[in-house]
Structure 1
Amino acid sequence: MSKGIFITATGTDVGKTYVTSLIVKLLRQSGMNAGYYKAALSGADVVDGELIPGDCKVVADTAGLAVRPQDMVSYIYKTAVSPHLAAQIEKQPIETDVILADFAKAKQQYDYITVEGSGGIICPLRLDEKELMLIDIIKLLKLDIIVVASAELGTINSVVLTIDYARSKEILVKGIILNKYDNGNFLHRDNKKSIERLTGLPVITCVANNDENLTLDAKILCECYKEV
C-alpha cells in the first residue's frame, strides 16, 4: 500500500517546489521508494520545441528521480497564468478522471508519493461550466497536507488563514514548513513560535536559503504520509 502527502503553500513564490524537492530527496536518500506527482502546471518552458514542466524538472534533478519531468504531471500549459485560465486559453480543460488515473499509476510505482499543488491552497483549476478547485484535488486523492510558508514578515496572517481554510474544508493539516528561514533573525524565530501557538500545529522543519538538505529525521517526515 502506497502512502501520500499533499504539499500546498500560503501563496505563489514561497518556495513550495524547492521544499518539495528536498522532501523527496530526503526520503530517497533514506532508502525509501519515493516519487512525485503534480496535477497541473502552467508556465512551462519550451526546450527544443517540447514543453518542459519546470517544477517537475527541479524535483527530478534534486531528488535524483530517473523520470522524464513530463511524466510526473497530468496537465502542462505554456501560458504563465493560473491553471484554470491557462486551460481555457489552450483549450485543454482539467479532468478529474485523468488525475485519478495518473495518481493510480504513481501508486503502482512508488511507496511514498509527494503531491505538489499549484500556487496557494485556493487555486482554481477550472472555472468554466465546471468548477474545480485545488482543494477538490486534495479531497479526490484523499490526502492530508503540509503547508509551506515563508518565514518572512506577514507569514502569520497567511499561515493562519490557509490552515483555517483547510480545516473549514475538513482537510487534515499535518504540519508547516517554514522556508527562507534565518535562525539569527528574531522576527523569523517569533513567527515560528507564534504560528505554532495560533494554529496548534508544529513547524516540522525550517529551511534556510540555499539549503541542500532538510534538517529533519526521515522517520518523522514519513509519519506525515497516509495510506492511499
Structure 2
Amino acid sequence: MSLNEPATQAAPQTAVRDPLPRFACFVTGTDTEIGKTLVSTAILHQLAQLGVRACGMKPVAAGAELIDGVWHNEDVDAIIAASSLHLPRHLITPYLLQRPMAPHIAAELEGVVIDPVTILAAAAEVQAAADALVVEGVGGFRVPLTGAFDTADLAKELNLPVVLVVGLRLGCLSHALLTYEAITARGLTVAGWVANQVDPAMPCTDENIEALLERLPAPLLGHIPRLSEPSAAAAARHLQLGALPGWPAR
C-alpha cells in the first residue's frame, strides 16, 4: 500500500462476553448431621449445570478413613465430587482430622493447631481460581475450632452470605431461630434457608415450615424431603436458588 492510499478499515471488534457473576456462600446448619453437605453439594450441582466453575470447601472436617494411602472424609469427598472445578485437597480442607469428634478436641488429641489464617488463605486461593465458592461449616454454627475461635468466627472472617439448613425434626423451631439470631448478631446476612426433612415421621411438617416462614426474614430456598437415595442431583431438584445474591442467571 502506498502512503497516498486510504487506510484499510479496521475489522469490527468481537463483542466481549461479560464475565460470569461471582457467587459465594457459607452453609451452616441448626445442628450436626442436619444436611449441610447435602445442601452444599446440591448448590454446587446447580452451579455446574449452569456451566459455572464452582468449587466447594469444608475447611475443617473431623472423621477420616485411610484409603490407598490417602485420608478421606465422606463429606469432603461428596463436595469434591459435586464441584466442577477441582483443586488440591489441602485447599478444599486445610484441616482433616482423623477422629470423629468435636474438632478442637480431635485437633488437640492429634497434635494439630487449627490456624484461622491458614483457612482464610486457602479460601482466598480457591475464590481466586473459581467463579463460585461454597463453604460448608462443621457441626452447628458455634462449634469450637480452638480455645478462642469457632465456626461463627470463621463465618465472620469469610464474610459471605449464609445459607441456613434447618433440619426438620422436633425442636427445629427454636434451633432455627436461635441460629438465625447468632448469625445476624455477627453482622452476617442470612441469604436464605433450606428445610431438610431429617425426621420423616415428624408430625405437622407443613405447620412447622409455616411457623418459620412467619419468623425468619429470609427466603425459603426449598424443602428437601427424606430422600431414599440422597444425592446432590436429587436434592438440587428441590431447591430454587435464584434469590441468593450473585446467583448466575440461566
Q: Any stretches of 5+ residues in structure 2 without a counterpart? A: 1-20
Q: Any stretches of 5+ residues in structure 1 without a counterpart? A: none
In the TM superposition, 1:116-195 aligns within 5 A as: 116-127=136-147, 131-180=148-197, 187-195=204-212
Q: CA 1:155–1:148 in structure 2 vs 1: closer, same or farther (change >3 Å)?
A: same
What secondary structure is seen at the aligned counterpart in 1 of 2:96? Answer: strand
Q: CA 1:181–1:96 in structure 2 vs 1: closer, same or farther (change >3 Å)?
A: closer
- Partner residue of 2:50 out of 30, 36, 47: 30
**Aligned alpha-carbon RMSD (Å):** 2.4
Contact 2:30 2:164 in 1 (8 A): yes
In the TM superposition, 1:1-228 aligns within 5 A as: 2-63=22-83, 66-67=86-87, 69=89, 71-127=91-147, 131-180=148-197, 187-210=204-227, 212-214=234-236, 215-221=238-244, 223=246
Contact 1:10 1:147 in 2 (8 A): yes
- State TM-score, norm by structure 1: 0.87
What secondary structure is seen at the aligned counterpart in 2 of 1:220? Answer: coil
- State TM-score, norm by structure 2: 0.80
What secondary structure is seen at the aligned counterpart in 1 of 2:243? Answer: helix
Q: CA 1:52–1:184 in structure 2 vs 1: closer, same or farther (change >3 Å)?
A: closer
What secondary structure is seen at the aligned counterpart in 2 of 1:219? Answer: coil
Aligned equivalents of 1:56 and 1:137: distance in 2? 18
* Deviation at residue 65 of structure 1 after TM alignment: 5.2
1:164-191, CA deviations, whole angstroms, 9 ceiling, x for partnerless residues? Answer: 1112222211111011279997611111
Aligned length: 222
1:136-169, CA deviations, whole angstroms, 9 ceiling, x for partnerless residues? Answer: 1111111121110112222111101111111222
The amino acid that maps onto 1:216 is: L
Identity %: 25
Aligned equivalents of 2:121 and 2:33: distance in 1? 29
Contact 1:181 1:206 in 2 (8 A): no
Aligned equivalents of 1:84 and 1:184: distance in 2? 34
Q: CA 1:171–1:179 in structure 2 vs 1: closer, same or farther (change >3 Å)?
A: same
* Deviation at residue 52 of structure 1 after TM alignment: 1.0
Moved more, 46-55 or 29-38: 46-55
**Structure number with higher strand proportion:** 1
Contact 1:182 1:208 in 2 (8 A): no
| Rg larger for | 2
Aligned equivalents of 1:123 and 1:185: distance in 2? 26
Aligned equivalents of 2:201 and 2:218: distance in 1? 23
1:19-62, CA deviations, whole angstroms, 9 ceiling, x for partnerless residues? Answer: 11111001111111211112111111221232112211012224
